[in-house]
Amino acid sequence: MEYNELTELIEKISALLTEKNFRAVKTILDDEMPQDVATLLEELPDKDMPVIFRLLSKEQAADTFVEMSSDSQEMLINVFSDSEIKAIFDEMFVDDTVDIIEEMPASVVKRIISQSDAETRHQINEILQYPKDSAGTIMTVEYVSLKKSWTVSQCFDRIRQTALDKETIYTCYVTDEKRHLIGCVTVKDLLLHDYNDLIADIMETDVLSVETTDDKEAVALQISKYDLNAMPVVDKENRIVGIITVDDVLDVLEEEATEDIAKMAAVTPSSDTYLDQSVWQIWKNRIPWLLILMISATFTGLIINAYEATLSALLFACVPMIMGTGGNAGSQASVTITRSLAINEISPRDVLKVLWKELRVSVSLGLVLACACFAKLYLLDGLAFGNEYTWQICLTVSIALFVTIVIAKLIGCLMPILAKVCRLDPAVVASPFITTIVDILSLVIYCLIAQALLSGGM
Amino acid sequence: MEYNELTELIEKISALLTEKNFRAVKTILDDEMPQDVATLLEELPDKDMPVIFRLLSKEQAADTFVEMSSDSQEMLINVFSDSEIKAIFDEMFVDDTVDIIEEMPASVVKRIISQSDAETRHQINEILQYPKDSAGTIMTVEYVSLKKSWTVSQCFDRIRQTALDKETIYTCYVTDEKRHLIGCVTVKDLLLHDYNDLIADIMETDVLSVETTDDKEAVALQISKYDLNAMPVVDKENRIVGIITVDDVLDVLEEEATEDIAKMAAVTPSSDTYLDQSVWQIWKNRIPWLLILMISATFTGLIINAYEATLSALLFACVPMIMGTGGNAGSQASVTITRSLAINEISPRDVLKVLWKELRVSVSLGLVLACACFAKLYLLDGLAFGNEYTWQICLTVSIALFVTIVIAKLIGCLMPILAKVCRLDPAVVASPFITTIVDILSLVIYCLIAQALLSGGM
C-alpha cells in the first residue's frame, strides 16, 4: 500500500470510528492485507488500537498480530483477556509464536505459554532450545508428511485434510513409521501422475536436508542457490522435525544483509527496526565501536608527535588526504571481498587469485592517483595558490600516496579472508578496522618516506 | 555441495575421463543439481568443458547452462553447432534466454536469435525493450492462465497439459477473452474445492499486480512483504504479460543489497561476480570515486595551511583522531538510515523522528567520547608520556570532538533522506561522501574552536 492510500484509509477509519460504525470498519479491515492492517493500527492513536484489533476476524487478527512491532504486541497482550490470547495464538504457526515470545518480557511469555495446549507448549520449548541463528529457530513445524505406500489420490486427501498454509503444502515429505525422511514429492509431481500411482514410485529419494543445528544463513543460501520451495530440517537421527520455507529465507537473507551492513559501519546489529529502537539501544550499539576506534586513532597523534621534526607544516597539511584516500582504497577492497564471501561468490581458497587481482588493480589505481596528486599539489596549490610546494615535497606526497594505496588494498582484501579462515566475522573487520589500521600504517609510511627523501626536514 | 565434495567429484570425473568412460560420467552428472554441475564444469580445464557438457541430457544441459558464468557460456556457444544452440535454448525459459543474451556480444546474440522460433523471438524482443531494472526485465512469460467459466477439474487438466516449472503453476491467473487479469486462484484453493466447482466462484478477484515498467526492487520488496508465491505483471491495459516468482525476488534482493554495499564503499556496482571481473573492470569501477574523494580531501590541506598560525604541533597531532571519529560517527548514522530506507523500514516522512533520535544519541555519544578523549590526552599522553598537553589543549580537543560528533550524526542521517527526496541514490551519499564532508567540517570546527579558546595560538 502506498503512503497516500494509507493516509486515506486512516482518515476513513477515523471518521467511521467517530460515527461508531464498527461494522463498516470491520468490513474494510478484513479485506485488507494483514501487513497493511498492522501498519494502519500502529499509525492510529494508542487508545484506538485494541478497539479496532478486536473488530478483526479471528484469522485476520492472528495474521495482523504477527506483523506488528513487538512494542505494539506487548501493549495488546497486556489489555487482552486470557481467552483472547488463546484465540490469537491458536491461529498462529508455532514458529511465529516463538518469534513473538523471544521479544517479550518473562511475565508476558508466561501468560502466552499458559494458554497453549500441551503439544504446542512442547514444540515451543523445543524450538527455544535450538542454538541462536540455527535452522531449528526459523523452521515451521507444520508440513505435510506422506507414506510411501499411499496412492496419489490418498495423498490429495491428506493434503485436503491438513490444508495448511500455502507455502507448506507444495512440497510434501515421505517418512517411514519412525518419522525418518525417505523422500519428497511436489504437488506438481502428484498432478502429473495418475490417481492410482504409488508414492514409492514417484517420490524423489535423493532429498537435500539440513540439521536443526545448521547455521540459518548457510541454509538460506542453499535454498536460494538451488531455487527450492522448502527445505526439510531433520534431527541427528534423520527424523524430520520441520521445514524451512522460501519466505523464511527472504527474511533471513534480508536480515543478514542488514546485519553485515551495520557491522561494516561499525554498529552492533539489532533485530529491531531503526524506529523501534530506543535512544539507549542505539547508543549502546554504537558507543563501543566509536570508543575503540577513537582510542586507536589517538595513536596517530603519538606518531605525529614523534615525527614532529620531519614533518613541516606543508607536509602535515597532506596527512588527512593521504589517510583518507588510503582508508577509501582499503574499504573498497575489503567491503567487496566481504560481500563476495557472504554470498559464497568466493571462498578462502581463492586467496591467491584475489591477492593477484588486487595487486594489479592497486598498482594501476595508485599510479593514476599519485600523478593526479602530484599535478594538483604542484600546479594548483603550488603555482596557482602560491603555497610553497616544491617538486620534492610533491614527489614525497605522491610516492607515499602510491605505497599507501597498494598496501591498503592488499590489507583490505586479505583481512576479511583471514577473518573467515579464523571463523571470525569478516564484516566486523571490513571497513572501520581496516581504515584504522591503514590510517596508522599510511602515517608511518608517509613519515618514513618524507624522512628518506627530504633527508631531515626541508 | 561442500568444497571437499566438489573436489572429490572432480577427481572422480577426471579419472573416468582418462578411462574414456563417458557413460559413467553422464550417469553421475545427470543426477547432480545443475548448479553443482555448472561449478564443476568451470573448475575443470577449459578443453574438457565442451566434451562433458555434450554428455548431459537435454534438460540437464539447459539447466546447467543457465547457471554458468557468461564467459563460460560464450565459450560454449562458440564451439556449439547451430542445432546444439537450438536444442539448449528451446529447453530454456524466455527470461533466462534474455538474461544470457544481455551479457553476450552482438555476433553471439545473432546466432542465438536466429535459432529461435518466431514466437520466442517476439517475446525476447519485447523483454529487451523494457526499461533497465523494470519488472518486465525479470518476469517469466510462462504461467498458467485459466478461464472463469471452467470447473476445478478443467483447471487441473489445463495444469497437467502445460506442466510448467514448479514455481509457475501454484498460482494460476484467470483472464477474460482479451487477456485482462480478472482473478487468481492457487492450487491449494483448487485442491480444497469440489471438482465441479466453478472458478468464477472460488477465484480471488482482488489481485495485487504490477506494471511492466515498475521498478524491480519495489516489486521484490512487495512480494517479500506480502509473502506471495508470485506476482502477475500487466501492461497499461491490465492485460497479463508475465509473472514474477519468488526465486527472481531472491536474486533481485541479493543483487540490490550487493549494489548498495558496493556504493557505500565508493565502488560502482557490477553485475558480474568479483572473480569474473577483469582487472580493468574493477579499476574502472573504483578510480572515479577515489579520484573525486582524493581531490575533495586535498581541500583539508588548504584549511590546515590557512590555520597554520592557530594550530600548534600538539593540536595538529589530534587532527586525524577528530576527523576519523567524526567520519565513523557520520557513517554509523548514514549507513543505518540508508539501509532502513532501502528496505522500507523508514520513509522520508519520518525525517523529524529520525533527527530527534539522532540528536539525542549523538549528544550522549559525544559526551562520553569527549570525556574519554580528555582523560586519555591529559592523563596518558600528557602526564604519563610527557607530551605538553595542558588542560586547555585537552579541553579544546574534547569540545571540538563533541561538536564534530553531533554535526556528523545529524548530517549522516539527513543526507540519505535528502537524497531519497531528490530521487538520488541514498547509498551513494551514505558513507564516503559523508566522511569527506564531515572531514572538512570537523577541521573547520576544530580550527575555529582552537582559535576561540586558545586566543591566537598558545
Low-confidence ranges of chain B (pLDDT < 50): 456-458
CB contact under 8 A, B318 and A340: no
Instruction: Name B367's Cβ contacts closer than 8 Å, sequence gap at least 6.
Output: B402
3-state secondary structure chain B: CCHHHHHHHHHHHHHHHHCCCHHHHHHHHHHCCHHHHHHHHHHCCCCHHHHHHCCCCHHHHHHHHHHCCHHHHHHHHHHCCHHHHHHHHHHCCHHHHHHHHHHCCHHHHHHHHHCCCHHHHHHHHHHHHCCCCEHHHHCECCCCEECCCCEHHHHHHHHHHHCCCHHHCCEEEEECCCCEEEEEEEHHHHHHCCCCCEHHHHCECCCCCEECCCEHHHHHHHHHHCCCCEEEEECCCCEEEEEEEHHHHHHHHHHHHHHHHHHHCCCCCCCCCHHHCCHHHHHHHHHHHHHHHHHHHHHHHHHHHHCCCCCCHHHHHCHHHHHHHHHHHHHHHHHHHHHHHHCCCCCHHHHHHHHHHHHHHHHHHHHHHHHHHHHHHHHHHHHHCCCCCCHHHHHHHHHHHHHHHHHHHHHHHHHHHHHHHCCCCHHHHHHHHHHHHHHHHHHHHHHHHHHHHCCCCC
**Candidates A186, A254, A368; nearest CB to B287:** A368
> Does A188 contact B166 at a Cβ distance shorter than 8 Å?
yes
pLDDT of A458 reads: 42
Which strand (E) or helix (H) includes residue A244?
strand A240-245
Is the CB of A332 less than 8 angstroms away from the CB of B290? yes
Residues of A in contact with B304 (CB under 8 A): 313, 316-317, 320
Residue of B nearest to A342 (CA): B258
How confident is the model at residue A401, as a pLDDT?
Answer: 94
What is the torsional sign of CA B221, B227, B230, B236?
negative
Residues 6+ apart with CB under 8 A from B29: B13, B37, B40, B52, B55, B56, B60
Residue A173's SS3 state is: strand
Query: Are A361 and B250 inside 8 Å of each other by CB?
Result: no
Contacts of A225 in chain B (CB under 8 A): 35
Kindly determine whether residue B297 and residue A325, on different chains, have CB atoms separated by under 8 Å: yes
Cβ–Cβ of B275/A377 closer than 8 Å?
no
Q: Are residues B274 and A432, on separate chains, in Cβ contact within 8 Å?
A: no
Classify A134 as helix, strand or coil.
strand
A38 Cα to chain B: minimum distance (Å): 12
The answer to whether A345 contacts B163, with C-beta atoms less than 8 Å apart, is no
Record the pTM.
0.81
Task: Please answer yes or no on whether A345 and B274 come within 8 Å at the CB atom.
Answer: yes
- For residue B410, which of B364, B350, B337, B355 has the smallest C-alpha distance? B355
Given this model, what pLDDT does residue A409 score? 93
Within 8 A of A298 by CB-CB distance, chain B residues are 318, 321, 373, 376-377, 381
Cβ neighbours of A33 in B, within 8 Å: 226
- For residue range B61-88, list pLDDT tens digits in order: 998 999 898 888 988 998 888 888 888 8
Are A275 and B377 in contact (CB < 8 Å)?
no
According to DSSP, residue A345 is labeled S
Phi-psi region of A266 (alpha: psi -120 to 50; beta: other; left: phi over 0): left
Nearest C-alpha neighbor of A454 from the set A390, A401, A402: A390
What is the rounded distance in angstroms from the CA atom of residue B115 to the CA atom of residue B104? 15
pLDDT tens-digit map of B20-59: 888 898 988 888 889 889 988 888 888 888 888 988 988 8
Helical axes B319-342 vs B246-264, angle rounded to 10°: 160
Nearest residue on chain A to B433, judged by CA atoms? Answer: A328
Q: Which three cell numbers stand for residue B260?
A: 548498495
Asked if B188 lies within 8 A of A169 by C-beta distance, the reply is yes
Query: Which residues on adjacent β-strands are paired with residue B183?
Result: B174
Q: Could you report how far apart the first and last alpha carbons of chain B are, in Å?
A: 67
Q: Which residues contact residue B71 at a Cβ distance below 8 angstroms, ignoring those fewer than 6 apart?
A: B276
Q: Please tell me the predicted confidence (pLDDT) of residue A457.
A: 44
Cβ atoms of B230 and B168 closer than 8 Å = yes
Q: Which residues of B touch A369 (CB under 8 A)?
A: 287, 290-291, 294
Of B291, B293, B339, the CB nearest to A324: B293
Per-residue pLDDT of chain A (458 residues; tens, 9 = 90+): 666 788 888 888 888 888 888 888 898 888 888 988 998 888 888 888 888 898 898 888 998 999 898 888 988 998 888 888 888 888 888 888 888 888 888 888 888 888 888 888 888 888 888 888 899 988 888 889 999 999 998 998 888 888 766 667 888 999 998 899 999 999 888 888 888 999 999 999 989 999 999 999 999 999 988 888 899 999 998 999 999 988 889 989 988 888 888 888 888 888 788 888 888 888 888 888 888 888 888 788 878 878 877 777 778 888 888 988 998 899 889 989 999 998 888 889 889 999 999 999 999 999 999 999 998 888 877 666 666 778 888 899 999 999 999 999 999 999 999 999 988 888 877 777 788 888 889 989 998 888 888 764 44
Q: Are A444 and A387 in contact (CB under 8 A)?
A: no
Considering only CB atoms, A346 lies closest to which of B275, B304, B401, namely B275
Hey, CA dihedral for B259, B263, B266, B267, is it positive or negative? positive
Which grid coordinates belong to A290?
566509536
In angstroms, how far is CA A76 from the centroid of its own chain? Answer: 28
Angle at A46 between CA A43 and CA A50, to 5 degrees: 105
Give the closest-approach CA distance of A74 to chain B in angstroms: 20
Encode burial over A347-385: b for 16+ CB neighbours within 10 A, e otherwise. Answer: eeebbeebeebbebbbebbbeebbebbbebbbeebbeee
d(CA A320, CA A240): 59
User: Nearest residue on chain A to B293, judged by CA atoms?
Assistant: A325
